[in-house]
Amino acid sequence: MKNSIKYFIICVSLTIGLFSCETDFDNPNAATEDQVFSSREGIFAAAVGLQQLYSTTGVRWIVETPAITTREGGITTTFQNMIELEDGGTALPNFNSNVQGLWATMLRVVKIAEDIEANAANIDLDPGTQSGLIAHAKLFKALAIGSLAQNYEQVVVETSNDNDATFVPRNQGFQTAITLLTEAAAQISGTAPSAEFINGVTLGNIDLVNTIAAYTARYNLFAGNYDAAIAAANTVDLTSTSIFAYDTQNQNPIWARIIQNDAPNFKPRDNFGLPSEFVFDPADGRLAFYLIPLDETNQNGLPIEDVAGFFNEITEPIPVYLPDEMNLIIAEANLRLGTPNLGAATAALNEVLTDTDDPFEVNANVAAYSGANTAEALLDEVYRNRRAELLFTGMSLEDSRRFGRPEPSGASMNFAEERNRNFYPYPDLERNSNPNTPADPAI
């Protein structure tokens, strides 16, 4: 793994002053890595930089890359990286900038989080400030590893300065993320984050307790730990919200890719990119929330819409998670138990379908489920609602595989397929520096 993942650019501006840090080139005026983590100002800047890196560059790759692969979005550009993604199949190159950007950015997040956690105890900090910094770092490391595990067959969970990081199966990546989240929850349960940490890092935008619980539920579901997923989801306060906040300097990254300068790179697909067998009530509030009717197709004949929701303004906040994801997790996990609990699954699903008071106003507000009372039919309904409720949250590829949607053929430019890859190839930047890089997945 290249040493360039170490800090890339964590140049952030805080109310406590300006702070510059090391990049990939020698700069006699830049702070060294030791200097970054030897002071309160430095570690605060690193924590803010970690959060900004994930919420801007990271969210761009997390959302955009699988969206194109799963037909959740359709390209509207002639940029080669986007063409390669939509063409898909075995021809998708290892040097594709989305494949590389997603991998490298998540590993930068992992590295920064590791360094914050390792050094927070060495600085004279209020116990609540130290606790908040450690829990925050563990959370973002878990998010980065989880994002990798959703998209790559094997992942790195600990970085190495010697370019020989070990790969583990993706399910082990989810388990590592769950462990980190469990440790983060214990950290802040033992010592609550201080006002200094909240005012200096999260600015009150991220509810750590509920965010940690929500991602614990998500990754337990993905890892097949269904009882644990249900238990964690049930602890999340569905009236609480956590957001990634943006301004004109740190812009909403999906707005920047779809709307900025009236030069879109992609747009959402009709019917949330689902095939016609998945029918939506025209009154479903999520249609109007996320999509603006366009009646156009992209260059490959895929019907596209204009975007609304969390993505049509430069400073529009993006939720860190959506509350009704918890109900969808409860529904799905109950259906995947050894003995499916159809009643509990239907009740949780109906919480989503009949929702009228979502804190982010993502309200389906339609009738309760009236389909067949079977696990198979209910799983189809959960899948349909995940796509509508969780548009552009980066989970469409994970969902498509998990729900057993049709396998891709491996052929390039087969635009009728629901997804054109199962996993992404490992980027050249990793393979060329890390001898432990596995063989690419077949498709």
Query: Which pLDDT band holds residue 4 (cuts at 50, 70, 90)?
Result: very low
What is the rounded distance in angstroms from the CA atom of residue 107 to the CA atom of residue 119?
A: 18
Within its chain, how far is the Cα of 280 from the centroid? 25
- C-alpha distances in angstroms, 75 versus 94, 257, 267? 20, 10, 6
Express each pLDDT in 352-395 by its tens digit. Answer: 999 999 999 999 999 999 999 999 999 999 999 999 999 999 99
What is the rounded distance in angstroms from the CA atom of residue 345 to the CA atom of residue 327?
A: 9
What is the rounded distance in angstroms from the CA atom of residue 321 to the CA atom of residue 393?
A: 8
User: Residue 38's pLDDT is what?
Assistant: 85
* Count of Cβ atoms closer than 10 Å to residue 63 Cβ: 24
CA-angle at 413, arms to 407 and 414, nearest 5°: 40
Express each pLDDT in 107-146 by its tens digit. Answer: 999 999 999 999 999 999 999 999 999 999 999 999 999 9
Express each pLDDT in 271-283 by its tens digit. Answer: 999 999 999 999 9
Query: Which pLDDT band holds residue 32 (cuts at 50, 70, 90)?
Result: low
Interhelix angle 226-235/323-336, nearest 10 degrees: 150
User: Residue 31's pLDDT is what?
Assistant: 53
User: Residue 414's pLDDT is what?
Assistant: 98
User: Residue 3's pLDDT is what?
Assistant: 38
Express each pLDDT in 43-61 by its tens digit. Answer: 999 999 999 999 999 999 9
| 89 within 8 A of 83, measured Cβ to Cβ | no
For 225-233, the CB contacts below 8 A with 24+ separation are 225/178, 226/333, 226/334, 226/336, 226/337, 227/333, 227/337, 228/178, 229/329, 229/330, 229/333, 230/329, 230/330, 230/333, 230/334, 233/326, 233/327, 233/329, 233/330, 233/333
Taking 80 as the threshold, does the pLDDT of residue 188 lie above it?
yes
DSSP string, 376-443: HHHHHHHHHHHHHHTTTSS-HHHHHHHTTPPPP-S-TT-TTSS-S-SSPPPPHHHHTT-TTPPPPP--
Per-chain mean pLDDT for the chain: 93
For the entire predicted model, the pTM comes to: 0.93
- State in Å, rounded, how far the first CA of the chain is from the last one: 23
Express each pLDDT in 225-254 by its tens digit. Answer: 999 999 999 999 999 999 999 999 999 999
Helix/strand/coil for 14: strand
Taking 50 as the threshold, does the pLDDT of residue 37 lie above it?
yes
What is the rounded distance in angstroms from the CA atom of residue 57 to the CA atom of residue 107?
A: 12
Helix segments in 96-251, DSSP class H:
97-119, 127-151, 170-190, 195-197, 208-223, 226-235
**Backbone torsions φ then ψ of 12, nearest 5 degrees:** -125, 160
Strand boundaries in 36-118, DSSP class E: 73-75
* Count of Cβ atoms closer than 10 Å to residue 169 Cβ: 13
Higher pLDDT, 101 or 36: 101
DSSP, res 178: H
